[in-house]
Every structure is written in C-alpha cells, then in structure tokens.
Amino acid sequence: MTYFPEEVVEHIFDFLTSHRDRNTVSLVCKAWYRVERLSRRNVFIGNCYAVKPGTLVSRFPPSFRRLQSRSPGWGANALPWVEAIARGCPNLEELHLKRMVISDECLELLARSFPNFRALVLVSCEGFSTDGLAAIATHCNCFPDSCTSLVSLNFACLKGEVNALALERLVTRCTNLQSLRLSSAGPQLRDLGTGSYVHDPRSEPYLNLASAFMACKSLRSLSGFWEVTAQCLPAVYPICSNLTTLNLSYAASIQGTELIKMIRHSRKLQSLWVLDLIGDRGLCVVASTCKELQELRVFPSDPSGDGSAASVTEEGLLSVSMGCPKLHSILYFCRQMTNAALIDVAKNCPRFTRFRLCGFGAIVRSCRELRRLSVSGLLTDKVFHYIGRYAQKLEMLSVAFAGESDRGMQELMEGCRRLRKLEIRDCPFGDAALLKDADKYETMRSLWMSSCDVTLQACQALAAKMPRLNVEVEKLYVYRTVAGPRDDAPAYVWTL
C-alpha cells in the first residue's frame, strides 16, 4: 500500500464536502482520523441528545467554522452547546439550529464570543425574543454597519403586522438584496416571498406592484400569495418565464383556472408546490409545460376534510409522471389511487429518490434508489414486506396509520439494512416488533413511535438489553448515544 504524506492526504480531503464521506474516511486509520480531524470546517449533528457538547469540542480542535444541529422537539437546550463552542472554538462563523430552545442569554453569549461570526439560522426554534436578536445585531463585528449591504432578509414566518413604510425604506436602500421574503422592491432579487396583495387592479398600488415585478429581471424563486385575487395575478406574469421555483402552497384563494394561467407562463420550473385546487386538468398543463420539473408537491386544501371534495386523482399524477422526465421527488396528497396507476407511475419515473403518497407497493419495486419514504393509509403487512425486500438503499422512513400486525415492522427492520431514521405513529406495532431485532437500533440514528401498541414494560426491557441506547418515553424515542442519559430532559420525558 502506498502511503502519502499527511499534507497530500489533507489536500485530498479538502475535496470531500459530504459529512458522510468525511465521517467514513476518518475511520480508515489513525493517521486519516487525525488529518480529517484537523481539516474539518463544517460539523453536522443530527441528534444533539446523542453527544455531549464537550465531545464535539474535543473531537474537532478550533478549526471548524460552521455547525449545524437538528433535533426533534424534545426539550433541546442550545446554551450548553454555545458555552462549549465558545470555550473551544472561537473561530466559529456560522451556526444553524433546528427545533432547539435558545434564550436571549444564549444569543447574547453567541454575539460576544465569536469575533468572526457572520451567519445565524434558527429553524423552528423557540425561547428568544427581539432582545436576543438585538444583541446579535449590536455585538457581532461582521454584522453590516449599514442596511445598504443587506443580501438576504426573511421574516415571512413572523406573525403580526409589518410597518410597510419602514420596510420600504429598508428595502429600497439595499441595492445588493438577492433574497427577500415579504417585500415589493429590489431590482437584483432572486428569491421573493410575498404576503397580501391589493385587490383592485386599477389602483395606483397595483400599477406600482406591476412595475416593481417587471424590474426584477433576476427573480428565480417566488412564494407566498396568502391573500391575492385573480385580478392581481397578471402583475406577476412578466417574471414567470424565468422562475425555477414556485411555491403556491399557501395560495388558497387562487383556483384552478388562475393557477393554470400562471403555470403556462412558467416553462422553466424545476420545483412546484401547489394546493390540490390545481386539479387534474392543471397537472396535465404542468406535464405539457414544465419539462424541467424535478420536484412536485401537491398539498390538501382542506387537511381536516374527508376527501369528498378532493380535486386531484391518479390521472393528474400519471400525467405528470409521463410529461416530466426529470421528476425525482413527489409529495402527493390523493385519496383516489389504484395499484395499476402506481405501477405506471413507477415505470415512468424510475429516478425517484423521494416519494410520499397514501398507499402502494409498486413504487419500492421499481424505484430502487429511494432514500426517503413517507407512507400512510390502510397498508397491509405485504407492503412492508415489499419495502424491506426492495428498498435496500432506504435511509429514512415515516409510517402512519398502516400495518396489520407486528410482522409488518419486523419485515421492515430485517430488510432495510441502511435504515437510519424510523418514525411510526398510529400503527398496530407492539412489544414483539419493538424487541425482535433490537440490535438493529445500534446502527440507526433514532426510532420514534407514537400511539402504537408498545407497553412501558417493553421499553424498560429494551433499555436494559441495550445500555448504549437512550430509551425515552412520553412517546417512545430510542436513539444511539455516546453521551449517556440526558440531564436536561423536560419533566414529561421519562428516561428508562
């Protein structure tokens, strides 16, 4: 075997951008472990409960500059992580947190501890207020001194009224603005998320809106449309020809006919999110118009309804599968689907990597590249047999309202050897299914079970049999850990 100097190996490692590839090469030998450890710039933690903050700092010296942490909503406190990183990695530049509790005190510590800090992303986090955000703006050295250098502004998720005049003054000064959620001005915009629209197409505000859209020659992504009338949509048509992403999943006021007109102007779309109001006819237009489409999501306009008014069927899905050859990701809420239709869809789209639908078996037989899968509905154990037998590359699976007996889950666990994350709710799987292949949990990131037939005694037996797993109960949450039992679990979580 040829041995290269560590400098050469480090240079080779610089071309590895995937977290998984980085993790894999670090296990080859001690020399590679050391080189990878010293050259890591980005760290991703999928489950912050499974490792202690101190382990992160000792594993990677002060070289990494970007940290991403994503955890289920289970009482995750960000403060211990920020404290540990502040002591061990003062060069941190970016921090991405998802579903964690982060206080104003934590944000102030973050702002004061890292002189090169320049990016903070909080997704579905809680516990902070505008005081914490003010600390970030005040104390971060890399925060722009003036608003004119702002590149991205996104507060579409915030509730409450927005001061339109203040927003307009801010946006019009930002000549470099490229991404904006909730706005109406900015000539270099690439990503625009809109809110409510004026309802009178003859009014001066509407004319100003149309002029603003025509000035956005670089716009590629459009979303929002919470409150908009059909009369106002023509203002958007001039920029549709350049769009690659269109999200109309909140546009409940736009009916099928208006959606079709907008789709006909959007031939370059690669990603489309719509409500089922688009109808089968609208999806046929998508199939004939959007030949570059790679991702389609069709959401229910009435999630709590009984489906009697459902306006998309297997016909729409079939049309898209035949007309969009590059399609590889689908989320489709549809209550009218036959096995024959699914077989045809699978044959038309063998490149599927993500497929979310109610009811099937043909998909996993034909689409062998599936990595993520969500299924729900009255599925039999035979479907889980198909998943275990054919979906050999499956890594993440979400199951709801499915299965007949413990055998379904057992077939799944025995067959899917690459499975890392499994979420199950409202299924008849019980103690036998949980304990049958318990060693499998050592190779997975986590198992989440809610409203199943699992007893507390079975959970205790699993915890006793597998001491390296954390078994936490309000719902059942099992995950591999190197940190031991948590000391920050909320009162409603039992750790066995």
Residue 467 lies in a domain: yes
Percent of the chain with pLDDT over 90: 9
Say how far apart CA 284 and CA 317 lie, in whole Å: 9
Instruction: Decide: 198 and 168 in contact? Cβ < 8 Å.
Output: no
In the chain, the number of structural domains is: 1
Q: What pLDDT, on a 0 to 100 scale, did the predictor assign at position 296?
A: 94
For residue 438, what pLDDT band results from cuts at 50, 70 and 90? confident
Q: What pLDDT, on a 0 to 100 scale, did the predictor assign at position 448?
A: 86
Residue 284 has pLDDT above 90, yes or no: yes
Range of the domain at 427: 386-496
Residue 466 has pLDDT above 50, yes or no: yes
Residue 396 lies in a domain: yes
Say how far apart CA 186 and CA 180 lie, in whole Å: 9
Residue 476 lies in a domain: yes
Please write the tens of the pLDDT for every residue from 287-329: 999 999 999 999 888 765 544 455 788 889 999 999 999 999 8
Please write the tens of the pLDDT for every residue from 340-356: 777 788 888 888 888 77
For residue 73, what pLDDT band results from cuts at 50, 70 and 90? low
For residue 450, what pLDDT band results from cuts at 50, 70 and 90? confident
Q: Which of 59-73, 159-173, 382-396 has the lowest mean pLDDT?
A: 59-73
Q: What pLDDT, on a 0 to 100 scale, did the predictor assign at position 147?
A: 56
C-alpha 280, offset from chain centre: 27
Please write the tens of the pLDDT for every residue from 74-113: 567 888 888 888 887 888 888 888 888 888 999 999 888 8
> In the predicted model, what is the mean pLDDT of the chain?
77
Residue 427 lies in a domain: yes
For residue 196, what pLDDT band results from cuts at 50, 70 and 90? very low
Say how far apart CA 478 and CA 471 lie, in whole Å: 5
Residue 404 lies in a domain: yes
Residue 39 lies in a domain: no
Residue 263 lies in a domain: no
Q: Report the CATH number that the domain containing residue 393 is assigned in CATH.
A: 3.80.10.10
Residue 22 lies in a domain: no
For residue 185, what pLDDT band results from cuts at 50, 70 and 90? very low
Say how far apart CA 17 and CA 35 lie, in whole Å: 15
Residue 180 has pLDDT above 60, yes or no: yes
Q: What pLDDT, on a 0 to 100 scale, did the predictor assign at position 1?
A: 46
Say how far apart CA 465 and CA 435 lie, in whole Å: 9
107-130 average pLDDT score: 85
Report the range out of 169-173, 399-403, 471-475 with the highest average pLDDT: 399-403
